[in-house]
Amino acid sequence: MRSRLAPALALLAPVVLLLPLVAAPTAVGDPLLPPPTPAAATGGGATGSQGSLIDVTATRRRPPLRVQVLSNRADLVSAGDVLVAVALPPGTPAHRVRVTAGRRDVTRAFAVRRDGRFVGLVTGLRLGRTTLRATAPGVRPGEAVVTNHRNGGPVFSGPQTRHYRCQETARDALCNEPARYSFLYRSTDPLVTDLQPYDPADPPSDVATTTTDQGVEVPFVVRREDGFQDRDRYTILTLFRPGRRWTAWAPQRQWNRKLLVTHGGGCGASYSPGNPPLQDYSGTLESVPGVEPSYVTALGRGFAVLSTALDNTGHNCNVAMQAESLMMAKERLVERYGELRYTIGTGCSGGSIAQHTVANAYPGIYQGLITTCSYPDTLTAGAQFADYHLLRRYFEDPSRWAPGVVWSPTQMAAVEGHLTHVNAVVADEGLFKAALDPEHDCGGTLAPVAGDPSTRYDSEVNPGGVRCSVLDIMLNLLGPRPASAWGPQEEAVGRGFAGVPFANDGVVFGLEAAEQGLITTEQLVDLNEQVGGLDVDRVPTPGRTQGDPASIVRAYRTGLVNLANHLDEVAILNHGGPDPGIAHDYAHAFWTEDRLQADQGHTDNRVMWFGPTPLIGDPRWAGEALLAVDRWLTAVEADRSSRPLAAKVVAGRPADVTDRCLGVAGLAQVPGPDGEPLCRSSSTDLLTTRLSTPREVAGGPRANEVLACRLVPLEASLLDGLPLPPTEAQLDRLRSALPRGVCDWSAPGRGEQPARTWLRYDAVGGGAAYGGRELPPAPPRSGGGWASPAFAPLLRQ
């Protein structure tokens, strides 16, 4: 036997001699670790080299150490730190484990925490890749490669906008500055529903108490953390006991490890830091007096609350930047406060857009959504509002009407698909004009100065200036316009502006209204002759808007258009009310419903509440919806079965969390004439203000997912349904107005496709990857601190 082993032992001898070097103590002079003995160095006394071989074989059979990156995907870490756990095989003492970050020994950051795990916060990571390696005597090592990015960003959103103006207190050009902490409290006065300033050195006498959903009773005192990431502000709120410690592995007992993310309304662009929104209807409605805001409800139950300025669509309408901001803030929260069970979003109008689009394009950031004043995304609503803008230009200028053509407000509304023309006015003035106007005064910009690109764009005196259209902050996603489409301003500066991702080419506005006899054939023809289009600067053009083909494709690919292809793993509760003409029809909630149905074949992971209060249904529903979705996700969390997460979400919905109509309990279970529950039934469209759009009236789909239709030649048969057939002259006029043809609404729109998930927008060799490139699969054993195991795997494509 010895003779057979001799050659093998000769080969293994160098490995055996090196084993003590690989399994070195944590640090020189560490009192917890005894120095290696000669026996340990040689493999053990009398057994000699044969014993060393047996030890090596045993080592290979034992489970290895496993390095688990908790606070984010390992390749998307930011700000130089990361929360890490090292899983130890049975029989491996923690005091024998050594952890390194590159060549740096970081073992002292780790310890066995109160939950029994070996966890540490690794700080001081350099930019780029670092290998985290865990070793211990007699155990195979484990490692994970983390890629650290700047706290000021970007991580995956691509090149940042130029001429950005940081806050006055910024420490550098990326707007970095240390986090600040302050305190708030809930008063015992029932009429004071929001939080008030709190001074720990001089506490007020009216501090309320709260009992969390884990049964922990504490004073209702909240710590507020305000800081900067990705060149913009974030805010984190938690119930807090001043003077007591809080670490990621030992949070204060009142935290339930759940997270609520709040959002704001609108859709805008900005070139300076903004303020994170906290109120339920921020940017759309003020908080309702006497009704506790949902973020206060959440805090009282033990939630943490998080908000970032970049996740406020009124400040930033770029889904990649929204997702990046949330990811970075959640990473910090996990590193400083602890691991999460699940995350719920809440918000109205633009807040619903942020939730829907981020959840669809970056799955894993949210586990539950509470949407109200709902839209599925920015661009399909934007196409509707662009149509309103052009229709208004014709309707409100009688000089453009042909002789003998007269339009009443009722007829205008019929073409627009609404009860009143006022809705178009509000949508255009309040939402569309500012969002698409490159010359308006947006945050962080200065008045135009000829030839100064750091000042605002002016088509005549400063074509190279900062553009305030929301399309321009989406440049990395949409890409620039090709040289063949450049206008004079683009020619002057030698680059294309962000592409136009929608078109009205081929749309026969008012077709169904004419078929119903609500407008005349001559009105139909005159309208479509005169409506025209828009150029890249929102300037009206005689011809129709054709859009930029590559940008239309990218709008779908990047998730700027939300077809709901990746929403099956989130629990969704939408609540809303009638729209009296302020551009938030409950129809937009049905757009999401229809898209979910088309993708999934069901909508069982979504509940719809419709009530009498305009836009929101009921002021109390924000808090009630939070409690309902919380119970829903708790049930999903408890499901340890092997079935897919989407099935768990459907099965986990509590029996009493069902559709509501007009706030009457049980009415949702009563079937309508078509067999559907009443609040989803087509028989109640008027009741729930499921109104139409200009493109629906033109024959388009009810889900309104088409940015640019496919074209077919205009045949006379298209107008067979008109009470008064067109004359040859009218047909010729219509063909001249639509020279490339009319929409084939039976076909998918141009560029229509599911969103690709977890895209990044930086090119491999530098610059932008327009339209995005796919991130590699999420590194194994990373991101687990974002949610309970039932919601895993997280952060995946």
Question: What does the DSSP 8-state code read for residue 211?
Answer: E
CA distance 310 to 696: 33
CA distance 366 to 794: 10
Q: Which two tokens stand for residue 483?
A: 């040289």
Q: Would the CA dihedral through 285, 291, 292, 294 be positive or negative? A: negative
The amino acid at 230: D
Residue 166 forms part of a structural domain: no
Range with lowest mean pLDDT among 92-106, 285-299, 539-553, 578-592: 285-299
Residue 671: predicted pLDDT: 58
Residue 677: predicted pLDDT: 60
Residues 6+ apart with CB under 8 A from 523: 405, 407, 411, 510, 514
Residue 699 forms part of a structural domain: no
Q: Would the CA dihedral through 614, 357, 326, 344 be positive or negative? A: positive
What is the arithmetic mean of pLDDT over 44-53? 38
Range with lowest mean pLDDT among 178-187, 221-230, 675-684, 784-793: 675-684
20 shares a domain with 39? yes
In the chain, what percentage of residues exceed pLDDT 70? 88
349 shares a domain with 393? no
The amino acid at 414: A
Residue 45: predicted pLDDT: 34
Helix axes 645-652 and 621-638, enclosed angle (nearest 10): 130
Residue-wise pLDDT tens digits, 234-257: 999 999 999 999 999 999 999 999
Residue 792: predicted pLDDT: 78
Residue 95 forms part of a structural domain: yes
257 shares a domain with 325? yes
551 shares a domain with 567? no
Q: With left for phi above 0 and alpha for psi between -120 and 50, is residue 644 left, alpha or beta?
A: beta
> Which run of H or of E encompasses 541?
strand 540-541
User: 282 or 589: whose pLDDT is higher?
Assistant: 589
Residue 30: predicted pLDDT: 29
Q: Identify the CATH number of the domain in which residue 346 sits.
A: 3.40.50.1820
What is the arithmetic mean of pLDDT over 477-506? 97
Kindly report the CA angle at 482 between 479 and 488, in degrees rounded to 5? 115
Strands, E, within 245-367: which ranges?
Answer: 258-262, 304-308, 342-348
Residue 7: predicted pLDDT: 37
Query: How many structural domains are present in the chain?
Result: 4
CB-side exposure of 356: number of CA atoms within 13 Å?
34
- pLDDT grade, residue 18 (50/70/90)? very low
DSSP secondary structure, 95-146, as one string: GG-EEEETTEE-GGGEEE-TTS-EEEEE--PPSEEEEEEEEETTEEEEEEEE
What is the arithmetic mean of pLDDT over 191-217? 97
Residue 754 forms part of a structural domain: no
Strands 221-229 and 232-239: antiparallel
The amino acid at 616: I
Residue-wise pLDDT tens digits, 718-745: 999 999 999 999 999 999 999 999 999 9
pLDDT at 34 over 60: no
Residue 5: predicted pLDDT: 34
What is the arithmetic mean of pLDDT over 277-297? 81
What is the arithmetic mean of pLDDT over 96-108? 98
Residue-wise pLDDT tens digits, 340-356: 999 999 999 999 999 99
Strands 660-661 and 606-610: parallel
634 shares a domain with 499? no
437 shares a domain with 354? no
Helices (H), 396-505: 409-416, 422-427, 433-436, 470-473, 475-478, 488-493
Residue 663: predicted pLDDT: 61
117 shares a domain with 211? no
Residues 6+ apart with CB under 8 A from 1: none
Residue 56 forms part of a structural domain: yes
Buried b or exposed e, range 192-201, using 16+ CB within 10 angstroms = ebebeebeee
Residue 52: predicted pLDDT: 45
Per the CB < 8 A criterion, the answer to whether 432 and 423 are in contact is no
468 shares a domain with 544? yes
What is the arithmetic mean of pLDDT over 190-199? 94
Helices (H), 459-612: 470-473, 475-478, 488-493, 511-515, 521-530, 549-557, 587-600
pTM score: 0.90
Q: Which two tokens stand for residue 629?
A: 């979705």
Mapped onto helix, strand or coil, the DSSP state of residue 227 is: strand
Per the CB < 8 A criterion, the answer to whether 308 and 262 are in contact is no
pLDDT at 40 over 70: no
- pLDDT grade, residue 690 (50/70/90)? confident
Residue 664 forms part of a structural domain: no
578 shares a domain with 552? no
Residue 9: predicted pLDDT: 32
Looking only at Cα atoms, what is the longest distance across the chain?
113
Q: Which residue is associated with the tokens 């005169």?
A: 530
> Which run of H or of E encompasses 185?
strand 180-185
Question: What does the DSSP 8-state code read for residue 642?
Answer: S
Helices (H), 475-586: 475-478, 488-493, 511-515, 521-530, 549-557
Question: What does the DSSP 8-state code read for residue 462?
Answer: B
Residue 72 forms part of a structural domain: yes
Of 713, 735, 757, the position where a domain reaches its end is: 735
Please tell me the chain's helix, strand, coil percentages from 3-state DSSP, rounded to the nearest 5.
Answer: 30, 20, 50
CB-side exposure of 160: number of CA atoms within 13 Å?
21
Nearest Cα residue to 549 out of 482, 494, 489, 477: 482
Residue-wise pLDDT tens digits, 775-793: 999 998 999 999 999 997 5
Kindly report the CA angle at 48 between 45 and 50, in degrees rounded to 5? 135
287 shares a domain with 339? yes
CA distance 296 to 620: 13
CA distance 477 to 558: 6
Q: Which residue is associated with the tokens 């008045």?
A: 447
Question: What is the domain extent for residue 142?
Answer: 66-149
The whole-angstrom distance between residue 428's C-alpha and the CA centroid of its chain comes to 25
What is the arithmetic mean of pLDDT over 562-585? 94
Per the CB < 8 A criterion, the answer to whether 298 and 305 are in contact is yes
Mapped onto helix, strand or coil, the DSSP state of residue 646 is: helix
What is the arithmetic mean of pLDDT over 762-780? 95
- Return mean pLDDT, the chain: 90
Q: With the CA atoms of 583, 614, 357 and 599 taken in that order, what torsion angle do they form, in degrees rounded to the nearest 10? A: -100
What is the arithmetic mean of pLDDT over 419-446? 95
Helix (DSSP H) and strand (DSSP E) numbers for the chain: 21, 28
Range with lowest mean pLDDT among 54-58, 529-533, 620-624: 54-58
433 shares a domain with 509? yes
Residues 6+ apart with CB under 8 A from 232: 175, 273, 274, 308, 309, 310, 316, 325
- pLDDT grade, residue 275 (50/70/90)? very high
Task: Determine the length of the chain.
Answer: 797
Residue 492: predicted pLDDT: 97
Question: What does the DSSP 8-state code read for residue 205?
Answer: S
Query: What's the distance, Cα to Cα, between the start and end of the chain in Å?
Result: 54
Residue 427 forms part of a structural domain: yes
pLDDT at 329 over 80: yes
244 shares a domain with 98? no
The whole-angstrom distance between residue 790's C-alpha and the CA centroid of its chain comes to 21
> Which run of H or of E encompasses 395?
helix 379-395
